[in-house]
Amino acid sequence: MFSWWRDADQAARKALVAASLGWMLDSFDVMLYALVLLAVRNDLGIDASTAGSLQSLTLLASAAGGLLFGVLADKWGRTRALMLSVLMYSVFTAACGFAQTVAQLAVFRIFLGFGMGGEWASGAALVSETWKERDRGKALGFMQSSWAIGYALAAVVNWLVQDVAGFGWRAVFFAGILPALYAFWVRRSVEEPDMWKAERAKPSRVSLRGAMGGSMLRITLAITLMNACTMFAWWGLYLWIPSYLGASQDTGGIGLSNAAMNWFIIVMQVGMWFGYVTFGYISDSVGRRKTYVGYLALAAVLVMAYAYTSTPWMLLALGPVVAFFGTGYFSGFGAVTAELYPTAVRATAQGITYNVGRVASAAAPWMVGSLAQTNGYPAALSITAAAYLLAAACWVLIPETKGRVVA
């Protein structure tokens, strides 16, 4: 099962570890907000619509950061861009703990988002260029799976800080500075891919317009729209699930304690991790398109079931299955875009297709929060199911890329 790891060289393994840790810590920092959201709202007097808007601002900033860091990764190198993005989101996650007003929190979340957006394009390009085509899906699947580990780790830290130690939500954010230490390890230990070094040495370069436009424009637009729909669904669903589980029953929630909510989230991450990893193996076997469409269609059905279930034990059982199909497809995005775009502009193209999609998805936290306030959580969460179905439909226009040689 893990022969692909043993067959890889040391540079590829280090690249995968570096990108995985970066993505795990990205998730850890970003998802702390969802876990402490009820406490933040109570302390700062924020309604659900405003709380969603703050996350929308973070996603818009992350889109801008992803675009910029994608360009920097192509020009300066994958590891340099990775290191800078981690430093930025670490510092500003900790800064959120000092916020005294909504405006201050908004500013800190914007800068956090800027750094968050830069990590994915740098890490995905780094892994794509150091792993062989037959194992690329599996490698990127393991990289993407670290998001679930980071989210679970955030839930553990939230539980330890608030429930065990008795500190408030501000101390939870202070823990977000820890990933900064990882950035220095990346700078010292991880080399730039040979493929990127060779491309930089060439006298003539591939143009971004040539790589993404012309005959590729239709595919570029389709994959960007597909990503926008999946990210709309993900952020609309997973930002609000902790609040849905923790809100009192008279406000439309389930009424779990903070400790119970955290453990529900941790159990959900088990399914999410397996979804990420399994996607890589399946897509390397049967293809990117079939795997994507299967995961997205099942996610739409399961989200509807989850949204209209109010029995705690059923939510606990459904959670990992929803997360398996409702998140695992992200493992395929790095492989598909790496196989569509050339080395010279790969990180930039990945940054554009990933983060323009993120711009569109920025409406999800605000929209779901507003609907939850007026129509209740089930109706609000169920709109993400429609986004999953629309994402699956986009694959009519996206070609199968399994087996393509990255060059």
As a whole number, the mean pLDDT across the chain is 87
Cα 407 to Cα 198, 330, 400: the distances in Å are 11, 22, 17
pLDDT at 298: 97
Please report, as a single letter, which amino acid is at residue 227: N
Q: Is 405 among the domain residues?
A: no
Q: Is 313 among the domain residues?
A: yes
pLDDT at 387: 95
Q: Domain total for the chain?
A: 1
CA-CA distance, 298 to 324, in Å (whole number)? 10
> If you ran DSSP here, which 8-state letter would residue 175 be given?
G
Q: Is 3 among the domain residues?
A: no
Chain centre to alpha carbon of residue 377? 23
What number is the average pLDDT over the span 210-232?
88
Please determine, for residue 21, whether its predicted confidence score (pLDDT) is greater than 70. Answer: yes
Please determine, for residue 50, whether its predicted confidence score (pLDDT) is greater than 70. Answer: yes
Q: Are 271 and 323 in contact (CB under 8 A)?
A: yes
pLDDT digits (tens, 9 = 90+) for 123-150: 878 888 888 877 888 888 888 888 889 8
CA-CA distance, 348 to 54, in Å (whole number)? 27
Q: Is 163 among the domain residues?
A: yes
Q: Is 303 among the domain residues?
A: yes
Q: Classify 256 as helix, strand or coil.
A: coil
Question: What is the CATH number for 285?
Answer: 1.20.1250.20
Q: Is 45 among the domain residues?
A: yes
* Residues spanned by the domain of 349: 9-192+207-396
Q: Is 197 among the domain residues?
A: no
Q: Is 37 among the domain residues?
A: yes
